[in-house]
Chains A and B, each alone.
Chain A
């Protein structure tokens, strides 16, 4: 009857204790509770990331076989923590201007980070489900946090109902897998299935249901319907959070789920992932063309990026996993660069959301518009910038696995996607100034903008370093 908690879970435990401490202290502070919880959350996240790094070795420690850690998981955990630190840095001004500076916002972000950490280090279908629930429940609340706005409430409700549906799919899939293998543990499921020549129909159903649910979490195409509405309706910093951290966690979990329990059955799942990937890339490229809302456009562009990342999953080799890691690192910085700029632009009606509002930015503020242009070029994949390398490694991995069709469709859709990124640049530089844009850069936002700009420009010089780092990610599950 001993409760065995070893070093593996220390970061999560410290994080959750810190969250509760911040929550209790903020309740009793009357003034500036938002600022307090924001900065203490930042400190807590930095401490957590150090604790995660402290265990940086490829050791499998099981805790009643419920949780597991290895270098792959640690690297993805660090990515999640970095993206939540960046979102905490850029959110302060926005919430204070809109007067929704509730201290619960950073706390809910921390809670969802906690859920993501649990989710990607889970080694059991039950701990996986609980992690997903913790993560998504706090995201539902964050989406509707601006309750005065009709759109935000709608976003929260929509996300909540569809998310509950996807959880039901997940549970149904898990119950089928449990019924046909008799185990909830990833390794045991793998062991039990290794005697099968091919999956029986019940397990295939279970697999498809779980992929459906995870596809919903990362907003891959047949399950993407919620994404544009939710991204448009939620407050902008929360949208920035939605486009990065939950997707990283979802991708990491998808990779682990497909390669650990179902590692022997690449043949059974690869067609599904190929379909999802192609559909995401094409829809991400075409649907974004007609958007005039910047957040909606970024939602479609993130759907497209998920499509490229899934190519790496399908190629199922070392370089595929490495390419996904590099892609995600670059994606975080591109995304936060754009959102940080979006969060510092205001016109008379408040923070801008329409693309047409950017007109004439090139003349009124050359530096910000150059940075924004660099981000957009990088998203489009123009060579010397970081975004090019992300796509490059993904396509190389696809070609190594002889997935030529996927690589060709990927290149074509990225050419189409370049159109709408270039359209924004055209609006910035070649259209007449209609409204007076006001730029307020507070030091944190400035830091994020310059950091991501430097990262994207200088990536070409230190890409060998990142490649080295990504070597650790390459995963021993791939047999």
Chain B
């Protein structure tokens, strides 16, 4: 058993157990934290495969954005997860059935070596390690051959931004805003008025 195998088994066991805890934990905050743990283990598995770019993306996208979003949802919204889980036993048979189907599919894939004869184009399952690391490889095609497509995806993000602003921005009336430009531009001559205060009377 080499170090590589040891690492693989360690990370995959932790990933499997933390995903089990995700669905069984009573406290939803714990579930989300274990979800993050299983994502991190998944990305470690990608590193072992030599796909370090995918590993980093997994951490940035899933841990950085999705999991934190879940955490916010869990903490800010008062959702009663116990109530949602009430129908668990009811759906259990269906879940087990689906699990069995998936398992048999996996086993079938593993035992049948005729998969390639179905007409799928043959590709090697192990990534082709080039001299460069695959972040660099990806970058080299992304910014040259697929430069236009890269730009197009940027426009999709721009549209999403415009849309979310248009659909949610409200200009409220009656809100007192601080306008620093106006404040700085005030002239002391117009603002300070000298008045003579008559004795025993004060000023309105």
Listed in ascending order, the chain A residues whose CB lies under 8 Å from chain B are 1-3, 5, 9, 16, 23, 63-64, 66-67, 102, 104, 107-108, 111, 114, 118, 126-127, 130-131, 133-134, 137-138, 140-141, 144-145, 147, 156, 179-182, 200-203
Q: If A104-B166, A137-B163 touch, does A66 touch B148 (CB 8 Å cutoff)?
A: yes
Q: CB-CB contacts of B112-123 with A at 8 A, as 1s and 0s?
A: 000000111101
Asked if B167 and A144 sit within 8 Å, CB to CB, the answer is yes
Tell me which residues from 78 to 124 in chain B have a Cβ below 8 Å from any Cβ of chain A: 118-121, 123
Q: How far is the CA of A376 from the CA of B117 in the complex (A)?
A: 57
Shortest CB distance A198–B (Å): 11
Asked if A66 and B149 sit within 8 Å, CB to CB, the answer is yes
Asked if B121 and A182 sit within 8 Å, CB to CB, the answer is yes
A131 (CB) vs chain B CBs: closest residue: B152
Q: If A3-B147, A67-B148, A126-B149 touch, does A108 touch B159 (CB 8 Å cutoff)?
A: yes
Q: How far is the CA of A141 from the CA of B162 in the complex (A)?
A: 9
Asked if B159 and A147 sit within 8 Å, CB to CB, the answer is no
Asked if A134 and B145 sit within 8 Å, CB to CB, the answer is no
Q: Which residues of B contact A130 (CB under 8 A)?
A: 149, 152-153, 156
Asked if A137 and B152 sit within 8 Å, CB to CB, the answer is no
Q: Which residues of B contact A147 (CB under 8 A)?
A: 167
Q: CB-CB contacts of B140-171 with A at 8 A, as 1s and 0s?
A: 00001111110011011001101100110000
Asked if A180 and B163 sit within 8 Å, CB to CB, the answer is no
Tell me which residues from 8 to 26 in chain B have a Cβ below 8 Å from any Cβ of chain A: none
Shortest CB distance B138–A (Å): 14
Q: Which residues of B contact A63 (CB under 8 A)?
A: 148
Q: Which residues of A contact B167 (CB under 8 A)?
A: 141, 144-145, 147, 156
Sort A-B residue pairs by CB-CB distance and give the 8 closest, nearest first: A182-B121, A141-B163, A200-B119, A130-B152, A104-B166, A137-B159, A3-B147, A138-B159
Q: How far is the CA of A147 from the CA of B148 in the complex (A)?
A: 34
Q: How far is the CA of A104 from the CA of B166 in the complex (A)?
A: 7
Asked if A179 and B155 sit within 8 Å, CB to CB, the answer is no
Q: How far is the CA of A432 from the CA of B167 in the complex (A)?
A: 41
Listed in ascending order, the chain B residues whose CB lies under 8 Å from chain A are 118-121, 123, 144-149, 152-153, 155-156, 159-160, 162-163, 166-167
Q: Which residues of A contact B162 (CB under 8 A)?
A: 23, 104, 107-108, 111, 141
Asked if A202 and B159 sit within 8 Å, CB to CB, the answer is no
Q: Which residues of B contact A137 (CB under 8 A)?
A: 156, 159-160, 163
Q: If A64-B148, A127-B149 touch, does A134 touch B159 (CB 8 Å cutoff)?
A: yes
Which single member of B123, B148, B155 contacts A134 (CB below 8 Å)?
B155
Q: Which residues of A contact B123 (CB under 8 A)?
A: 182
User: Residue among A1, A108, A141 with the most chain B CB within 10 A?
Assistant: A141
Asked if A179 and B159 sit within 8 Å, CB to CB, the answer is no
A112 (CB) vs chain B CBs: closest residue: B159
Q: How far is the CA of A118 from the CA of B154 in the complex (A)?
A: 14
Shortest CB distance A167–B (Å): 11
User: Residue among B145, B148, B162 with the most chain A CB within 10 A?
Assistant: B148
Shortest CB distance A193–B (Å): 11
Asked if A202 and B152 sit within 8 Å, CB to CB, the answer is no
Q: How far is the CA of A191 from the CA of B187 in the complex (A)?
A: 77
Q: Which residues of A contact B166 (CB under 8 A)?
A: 102, 104, 108, 141, 145
Q: If A127-B149, A134-B155 touch, does A3 touch B144 (CB 8 Å cutoff)?
A: yes
Shortest CB distance A44–B (Å): 16
Q: Which residues of B contact A5 (CB under 8 A)?
A: 148
Shortest CB distance B172–A (Å): 14
Q: If A3-B144, A179-B121 touch, does A138 touch B163 (CB 8 Å cutoff)?
A: yes
Q: Which residues of A contact B146 (CB under 8 A)?
A: 64, 66, 126
Shortest CB distance A191–B (Å): 13
Shortest CB distance A368–B (Å): 33
Shortest CB distance B47–A (Å): 25
Q: How far is the CA of A454 from the CA of B153 in the complex (A)?
A: 42
Asked if B120 and A179 sit within 8 Å, CB to CB, the answer is yes
Q: How far is the CA of A114 from the CA of B156 in the complex (A)?
A: 11
Shortest CB distance B61–A (Å): 17
Q: How far is the CA of A3 from the CA of B148 in the complex (A)?
A: 9
Asked if A64 and B155 sit within 8 Å, CB to CB, the answer is no
Asked if B155 and A202 sit within 8 Å, CB to CB, the answer is no
Asked if B120 and A180 sit within 8 Å, CB to CB, the answer is yes
Asked if A141 and B159 sit within 8 Å, CB to CB, the answer is yes
Asked if B152 and A118 sit within 8 Å, CB to CB, the answer is yes
A100 (CB) vs chain B CBs: closest residue: B166
Q: How far is the CA of A63 from the CA of B123 in the complex (A)?
A: 27
Q: How far is the CA of A158 from the CA of B166 in the complex (A)?
A: 18
B170 (CB) vs chain A CBs: closest residue: A147
A192 (CB) vs chain B CBs: closest residue: B121
Pick 30 A–B contacts, CB within 8 A, sort by A. Answer: A1-B144, A3-B144, A63-B148, A64-B146, A66-B146, A66-B149, A102-B166, A108-B159, A108-B163, A108-B166, A111-B155, A126-B146, A130-B149, A130-B152, A130-B153, A130-B156, A134-B152, A134-B155, A137-B163, A138-B159, A141-B159, A145-B166, A147-B167, A180-B121, A181-B121, A200-B118, A200-B119, A201-B119, A202-B118, A202-B119
